[in-house]
Chains A and B, each alone.
Chain A
């Protein structure tokens, strides 16, 4: 019964991230549309898009290799494994023992690196351009991210994610400690940068020369594009899920009883939707930063993270 329960919750986490991620993208577009005075596409539009893409033809550029079809699979697979590790609905995820924030970060990095390779694999100008830009931003976001993890781990004496969540639940005062607040601010900037949202990248741009992430995936079509879309949506949902559970861990299920898990799912969706809606609302009012202004933003995130780590040490 216990094994079945754990497996069921694990499957539910992945499914919630998959379906919820796509709905989340729809929700963010909807919020944006409403703030702009438009009606906007239905919230389930990304689900329809993915369904349609699965029915379409797969194209492969002439000079590409096995990297090209492999990259979307790796992207989605890494997010799935990360979702199995992360305490989202339950505080005891299936791969919880080895669940380390460091591991989650590097898993997501594996997906990014594969997509960047796929961009170069197409042999086009835009693919290489997107890879180069995306990796530059990734490299600059990395210090902020790892120092954030360091800051988050100080109070729990571990970078094990479930342990951090449990420690936070046991001592909620940690949430308003300077260490946690600085770390969360840094984490939010990094999430915006890693998921390619404004002001780092404009997901709705049609101009190739302003693209970062879109440029890498210009060659994907049909089911491959469906996987890339799904992977990106899942990654956004996962990162936001990590963020909200570090900020407000309440509602997370501590057992596998159906009521607790159902409540956990609902609470998670509500928390993520709120944060995503707020992000999307702010996005309407800001413009994309120039590529070479981004280091300043990410350096700011790094300073915040470092402040978090240092104040965490000082508070001890």
Chain B
């Protein structure tokens, strides 16, 4: 066990960044805060790498910081990979911020909030007692809420996003707290180590309640259906570096919480727990990808795709628990490795995509894909980076998303005939969900990349776009580079993930994947050679391109007007838009999406065969939101109205309330005594 020196230093540097953000003059504020944030990330990352390399947990305890309970930090390999995940997003986001700040993210509050947010994110995976964890968790929620609101607080959409996010995240925190309280009530102490050691003696019913409470609480943070409704509101309204952190890192901590409770604190559970997680994951993946395919707001699309990706991660977590519960530990370990790989990949590509979306918003003034187009010619570097990140999220080889889905598919494939009926039914359905999700994700991201960056600009804003600041491109470039490296050479990050899995599943012996130049599954047959695959793909492309050059008789390329059937006027408005691109998918899934279409035709006065104007509107609402949340909100509002009648503003009435309360209390005391 190490002293956790870097851990504390990193936290102190992060605090310094927060203080700096609050007090420094505007000239240095952003640069200094960003540097300190990067420094804090580097220190925390050093601590995490130390833990992973040595296998010794980093521990730090102080009685001082939190009243009566003290602060306990303990970084295990499981927490370490989440610290690294946060740092992988936070460093590029901070770098990006230095270029993005002039576009409405340079205030004191924002700078301080950003630094605090990153610091807290880095520390949450190291929290090892209930008080520490809940304190950091709430800080994380509050700082991110403040960041969603700060710069655009005047806007109605941002306010509404803030309310949704605030309510859901706090209800979620209440669930988590309830789960913790049930455990502490049983164990009598509040460090995770005690909770873990006493969990075995809990009654099965209590264990189940605790797990479900934690699942709801952390699921709401992870953006799982039906708690996803805050994502498509808060992510678009937050400034882009914050969206990247929220979607890439904070949401991942929701999964951390589920693994922490399910695998570590409760030490695994019966099959049905994991079937619930699996189903939740599958539904989230499908629902998220379907809505992503139908979104036209670029950041909303990314937010829905977060629900989709986290759904896949939970699918893997659920499969892992299922395999472990049926006695196939190594397969369970493989699934969990797949879950962590997808999670880390998601942090990389979703971070890159959110940052690039921010660049698009800065350059064009809009996020509406129906108004974009032609950006690859105007912002060649941001555009190219977005394309690679989009290919990565589509799980196209040879990028990291592909390796993650391969691992997940392999674990499911080898989990079909394990002898448990529930598994035999669940696993093929999980594969189907994975596949449909993959297909819809490709629709969503070919749409985002193709409509947004290719073709011709659909608005003056897109036409006038210019490339953004270097630091912003660097931030995106850093994340995209990670995507490529993790895809071509996944063996660079797999050992760390396997060590984390060994912490989560201590009874499974050796790692599930051996990795030299190729990934080889242990115990089952499955080999992936990403490096060879990449090399052969590159060689094949070079050969084909040179054959095209060598065999063609004419070397010149003539640039002509695009073929428009000989029409004189071919305009950008004739292109497919994001809405029209998604229309076939929308029609196929009509029953699920229930799009609202309004068609108004007004006729000329002289004859109803002469049409004066046609207006057509179509939008897809979130049906879960309207079916689940609207009634709740309505009834809360109704009760609120009733409660207001108690409060008419009359001092006499209030005095009467006080008197009645006093009398009732006295009566109660008298009767019970």
**A contacts, CB < 8 Å to B:** 54-65, 67, 69, 72-74, 76-78, 80-81, 84, 95, 97-98, 100, 102-103, 106-107, 109-110, 113, 116-117, 119-125, 127-129, 131-133, 135-136, 138-147, 149-150, 153-154, 156-160, 163, 208, 218-219, 222-224, 226-227, 291-292, 295, 302, 306, 309-310, 312-314, 316
What separation, in Å, do the CA atoms of A84 and B543 have in the docked complex?
14
B581 contacts A131, CB within 8 Å?
Answer: yes
Q: Give the contact-size bracket for chain B.
A: 35 or more
Interface check B377, CB cutoff 8 A: yes
A63 contacts B413, CB within 8 Å?
A: no
Give chain B residues whose Cβ lies under 8 Å from the Cβ of A144: 435
Q: B436 at the A/B interface (Cβ < 8 Å)?
A: yes
Residues of B within 8 A of A107 (CB): 397, 537
Q: Sample 30 A-B pairs with CB under 8 A, ordered by A number.
A: A55-B552, A55-B553, A59-B558, A60-B560, A61-B561, A61-B563, A62-B560, A63-B374, A72-B548, A74-B541, A77-B540, A84-B536, A97-B527, A98-B533, A100-B527, A109-B394, A110-B396, A117-B449, A125-B575, A128-B575, A129-B576, A132-B583, A146-B409, A149-B413, A160-B525, A226-B548, A292-B584, A306-B428, A310-B425, A313-B428
| Minimal beta-carbon separation of A80 from chain B (angstroms) | 5
Of chain B, the residue at the smallest CB distance from A158 is B525
Which of B405, B425, B455, B562 gathers most chain A CB within 10 Å?
A: B562
Decide yes or no whether B585 CB sits under 8 A from chain A: yes
- The answer to whether A109 and B396 touch across the interface, beta carbons within 8 angstroms, is yes
Q: Max chain B CB contacts within 10 Å: which of A142, A310, A316?
A: A142
- Whether the pair B562, A219 counts as a contact (CB closer than 8 A) is yes
B395, B424, B525, B588: which contacts A292 (Cβ < 8 A)?
A: B588
8 Å CB interface, B298-333 against A: none
Q: B548-576: which residues lie under 8 A (CB-CB) from chain A?
A: 548, 551-554, 556-565, 570, 572, 574-576
A154: B residues at CB distance < 8 A: 416-417
Any A CB within 8 A of the CB of B208: no
Chain B residues closer than 8 Å to A97, beta-carbon distance = 518, 527, 529
User: How far is the CB of B153 from the nearest CB of chain A, in Å?
Assistant: 37
Q: Is B524 an interface residue (CB 8 A)?
A: yes
Q: Which of B376, B528, B551, B572 contacts A223 (CB 8 A)?
A: B551
> B553's contact among A54, A78, A313, by CB below 8 Å, is which?
A54
Choose among A62, A100, A306 the residue that contacts B528 (Cβ–Cβ < 8 A): A100
B436 touches A143 (CB 8 A): yes
A157 in contact with B446 (CB, 8 Å): no
Asked if A146 and B431 make an inter-chain contact with CB atoms under 8 angstroms apart, the answer reads: yes
Q: Which residues of A contact B443 (CB under 8 A)?
A: 135-136, 139
With a 10 A CB-CB cut-off, give which of A76, A128, A149, A312 has the most chain B CB atoms: A128
- Asked if B177 is an interface residue, CB under 8 A from chain A, the answer is no
Residues of B within 8 A of A227 (CB): 544, 548
Using Cβ atoms and an 8 Å threshold, which residues of chain B touch A69?
Answer: 557
Option from B532, B552, B562 in Cβ contact (under 8 Å) with A123? B562
Complex contacts, B446 vs chain A, CB 8 Å: 113, 116-117, 120, 131, 135
- CB closest residue in chain B, given A112: B442
Cα distance, A103 to B554, chains bound together (Å): 36
B456 / chain A contacts, CB cutoff of 8 Å = 63, 123
The smallest C-beta distance from A101 to any residue of chain B, in angstroms, reads 10
B526 at interface (Cβ–Cβ under 8 A)?
yes
CB-CB under 8 A from B394, the residues of chain A are 109, 113
A86 to chain B, nearest CB (A): 13
- List 9 tightest A-B contacts by C-beta distance, closest first: A128-B576, A139-B439, A98-B529, A120-B450, A142-B439, A158-B525, A146-B435, A77-B540, A123-B455
**With a CB–CB cut-off of 8 A, which chain B residues contact A54?**
551-553
Residues of B within 8 A of A (CB): 293, 373-374, 376-377, 383, 387, 391, 394-397, 402, 405-406, 409-410, 412-414, 416-417, 424-425, 428, 431-436, 438-440, 442-443, 446-447, 449-451, 454-456, 518, 524-529, 532-533, 536-537, 540-541, 543-545, 548, 551-554, 556-565, 570, 572, 574-576, 580-585, 587-588
By beta carbon, the residue of chain A nearest B375 is A65
Chain A residue at minimum C-beta to C-beta distance from B570: A124
Interface centre among B414, B438, B446, B558 (most CB of A within 10 A): B446
Q: For B531, give the chain A residue with the smallest CB separation.
A: A98
Kindly state the separation between the CA atoms of A312 and B545 in the bound complex, as whole angstroms: 43
The answer to whether B554 touches A62 (Cβ under 8 A) is no
Contacts of B587 in A (CB 8 A): 292
Contact of B554 with A58 in the complex, beta carbons under 8 Å: yes
Q: Which residues of A contact B439 (CB under 8 A)?
A: 135, 138-143
Greatest chain A CB density within 10 A among B394, B544, B581 is at B544
A117/B454 in contact, CB under 8 A: yes
Using known A-B contacts A81-B537, A142-B436, A222-B552, determine if residue A123 contacts B454 with beta carbons closer than 8 Å.
yes
Given A57-B556, A106-B405, A223-B548, 4 new contacts (CB under 8 A)? A58-B556, A100-B526, A292-B587, A302-B432
Q: Pick the residue among B527, B536, B576 that contacts A160 (CB under 8 A).
A: B527
C-alpha gap A51/B383 in the complex (Å)? 35
Q: If A63-B455, A98-B527, A222-B554 touch, does A123 touch B374 (CB 8 Å cutoff)?
A: yes
Q: How far is the CB of A150 from chain B (nearest CB, A)?
A: 5
In angstroms, Cα B454 to Cα A154, docked, is 42
Q: Check if A316 sits within 8 Å of B417, measured CB to CB.
A: yes
Chain A residues lying within 8 Å of B387, measured Cβ to Cβ, are 67, 117
**CB <8 Å contact, B537 and A77:** yes
B400 to nearest A CB, angstroms? Answer: 13
Bound-complex Cα distance A147 to B434 (A): 10
Residues of A contacting B440 in the complex (Cβ-Cβ under 8 angstroms)? 139
In the assembled complex, which residues on chain B have CB atoms less than 8 Å from the CB atom of A153? 413
| Cα(A160)–Cα(B410), bound, Å | 10
Q: Would you call A313 and B416 a contact (CB within 8 A)?
A: yes
Shortest CB distance B154–A (Å): 36
A302 to B432, CA, bound (A): 8
Please tell me if the beta carbons of A136 and B554 are within 8 angstroms of each other in the complex: no
Contact in complex: A122, B417 (CB < 8 Å): no
Contact A113/B442 with A142-B435, A143-B435, A223-B552 known, Cβ cut-off 8 Å: yes
Give Cα A80 to B383, complex, Å. Answer: 28
Is the Cβ of A106 less than 8 Å from the Cβ of B395?
yes
* Interfacial chain B residues near A150, Cβ < 8 Å: 412-413, 416, 428, 431
Distance in angstroms from A297 CB to nearest chain B CB is: 12
CA distance A226 to B549 in the complex (A): 12
CA of A222 to CA of B588 in the docked complex: distance in angstroms? 36
What residues of B have a CB within 8 angstroms of the CB of A136 in the complex?
A: 443, 584-585, 588
Which residues of A have CB within 8 Å of B413? 149-150, 153, 159
Knowing A102-B406, A109-B396, A147-B435, say if A56 contacts B570 (CB, 8 Å): no
Selected contact of B580 from candidates A110, A123, A128, A302, CB within 8 Å: A128
Q: In the complex the two chains form, is B558's CB within 8 Å of A60's CB?
A: yes
A132 in contact with B536 (CB, 8 Å): no
Distance in angstroms from B18 CB to nearest chain A CB is 43
